[in-house]
Amino acid sequence: MMNSHDGSEDETTVPLLEFDLDQEAQSVDSNKAQALQRRTPLPLTQLMILCAVRLAEPIAYTQIFPYINQMMEDLHVTDKPSDIGYYSGAVDSIFAVCQLFTVLQWGRLSDRIGRKPVLLFGLTGVALSTSLFGLSRSLIWAICARSLAGALSGNAAVVQSMISEITDETNQGQAFPLTGLAWSLGCIFGPMIGGNFVDPAKRFPTTIGTIPVFANNPYLLPCVVSASLTMCSITFGIFFLKETLPSKIAVNEKSAHRLSFGRENEKLPQKQVSIKYILASPIIKSVFKNYFLLSALGTSTDVVFILMAYTPVRLGGLSRTPEEIGYALAFSGMAGGIIQVLIFPVLQRKYKNIPLYRALMSLWPLIFALLPFINIIARMTLPAEALLDDDLRFPASPLVWISIGVVLSVFRMASMSYSLNVILIKNAAPSQEALGSTFGLSQSVACIARASSPAFVSSIFAVSKKYQILGGNFVWLAMFGIGLLALWSTYQVVDGAEERERMKEERNMF
């Protein structure tokens, strides 16, 4: 496919599951020692502001997870509990479908007019669409609200571009996980908001539940709480977030210089790099292909865990309530935040990007191998009547919760591959001026995966349980296979920074 994949010929003969990270670490320790001594200090103030702004989107995105299946039941989209996954998956998928058609344009627009206005406009769209989703009285309304949210949301590419512009190779391993922490915190608060504020007429019958608009719209309150937090992020961003686009900064500085001295010394903004030029890079193609599979795995894990947790035990699930699902997802987000901030920077400094990336990607098949065992444990520990009546919700045993915690922790360990993938995408960008477009393209690739994955995995889950294919376990076998495919594809991924360094050394030899 390419003349060079990893910068060395013997890399292609390494066995699929063999990761000699210590050997790789020893080979780069001497090279990184000097870099560590002159590491650029992190621009903590702007990073913290970016994280605060970034926090709003995952809260809005994940707050529907605890109650989406219950919402589909209340909307009477189907009379069969085993088919709920089709519809909840469709509602989740439509967000990414609509984002697919706009995220690249938001990224390219940010390359022209600046990062800050695009970011703030996207947050405004998130607040509006989240509120509308809470007013859903039909499946069509819910789909339209999620469609609006996806179409107006291009923040991920913009935030990644901004971090790339205020960091360098010496401190990016610390900076990118901080946005991962913001996402993880959002994944803590979002499900907790969704699980604890849903149906206020029952949960808060003497206070908020007496307000007609909330009594008549049981899913509005968590959406309003989420939208309010988003508005706080918008206000925070307006007053404290600084523009990072180099050409925009240059124009502003040039204007100030002209006012002071009456002449111009700054470079004019450069011409925008074309999409065709970006996609012509073999390195970009290799990173994007793996990012598609990574996004598919991450989205599928979120969806299938929620489905499994809500599904009755007799059908292969865990029979948990929306509130319990919210707490489980909050734990997952907390574990992800700790791992991203405390563990990832250490690993990224010690090992090369590509070997570490392969090691982390090897955890995805393990997740799908472990998930069916939680149902087995639930069957062994729940009373017999829990297997006969789907409406009964018995407390889960401590062993079930420990098993859930283990699987979700492995999931968050595997999710460190997202931060590495962002670094690989940044390293693969053809130029500084193309960062917004490159990250916009990467998000388009991710959107295709996120748009297709929920419906795909929900359908496989429903079919597996409905027809008891392989005892209802076909879904786990299918996802295990996709995990292996993603692991195999990492052997075609190239680190652009290492490739440029290798080419520079080759030129210096002649």
CB 267 within 8 A of CB 97: no
Computed over every residue of the chain, the mean pLDDT equals 81
For residue 413 the two structure tokens come to 């360990």
pLDDT at 390: 57
Residue 206 — very low, low, confident or very high, per pLDDT cuts 50/70/90? confident
pLDDT at 25: 45
Q: Which tens digits make up the pLDDT trace of 334-346?
A: 888 888 888 888 8
Phi-psi category of 360—alpha, beta or left, where left has phi over 0 and alpha has psi -120 to 50? alpha
**CA angle at 500 for the pair 495 and 503, rounded to the nearest 5°:** 125
- The rounded distance, in Å, linking the Cα atoms of 154 and 246 is 20
Q: Where are the domains of the chain?
A: 9-243+276-508
Residue 439, pLDDT > 90, answer no
Q: Which tens digits make up the pLDDT trace of 179-196?
A: 777 877 887 888 889 988
More confident site: 97 or 254: 97
Q: What is the DSSP string of 373-412?
A: HHHHHHHHHS-GGGGT-TT--PPPPHHHHHHHHHHHHHHH
pLDDT at 45: 85
pLDDT at 348: 84
Q: Which tens digits make up the pLDDT trace of 126-174?
A: 899 999 999 999 999 999 999 998 888 778 788 888 888 888 877 877 7
pLDDT at 9: 38
Residue 327 — very low, low, confident or very high, per pLDDT cuts 50/70/90? confident
More confident site: 247 or 415: 415
pLDDT at 6: 40
Residue 228, pLDDT > 90, answer yes
Q: Does the reported pTM lie above 0.75?
A: no
Q: For 291-330, what is the HEC assignment?
A: HHHHHHHHHHHHHHHHHHHHCCHHHCCCCCCHHHHHHHHH
Percent residues over pLDDT 70 in the chain = 84
Residue 446, pLDDT > 80, answer yes
pLDDT at 366: 96
Instruction: Please state which CATH number belongs to domain 9-243+276-508.
Output: 1.20.1250.20
pLDDT at 14: 39
pLDDT at 393: 66
Spatial neighbors of 16 by CB under 8 A, at least 6 apart, are 487, 488, 491
Which of 152-161, 368-377, 403-412 is predicted least confidently? 152-161
Residue 12 — very low, low, confident or very high, per pLDDT cuts 50/70/90? very low
For residue 470 the two structure tokens come to 């392989």
Residue 254, pLDDT > 80, answer no
Decide: helix, strand or coil at residue 15.
coil
Decide: helix, strand or coil at residue 283.
helix
Q: Which tens digits make up the pLDDT trace of 73-127?
A: 888 888 877 678 778 878 877 887 888 888 888 888 888 888 899 999 999 998 9
**CA angle at 270 for the pair 121 and 100, rounded to the nearest 5°:** 40
Residue 406 — very low, low, confident or very high, per pLDDT cuts 50/70/90? very high
For residue 41 the two structure tokens come to 């200090």
For residue 42 the two structure tokens come to 């992190």
More confident site: 80 or 446: 446
Residue 468, pLDDT > 90, answer no
- The rounded distance, in Å, linking the Cα atoms of 75 and 448 is 27
More confident site: 407 or 27: 407
Residue 365, pLDDT > 90, answer yes
More confident site: 389 or 205: 205
Sign of CA dihedral 303, 306, 308, 311: negative
What's the rounded mean pLDDT across residues 309-326?
A: 83
pLDDT at 312: 83
Residue 198, pLDDT > 50, answer yes
Helices marked H in 152-245: 155-166, 172-197, 200-203, 212-216, 220-240
For residue 5 the two structure tokens come to 């994949």
Residue 403 — very low, low, confident or very high, per pLDDT cuts 50/70/90? very high
- Round the CA-based radius of gyration of the chain to a whole number and report it: 24
pLDDT at 91: 86
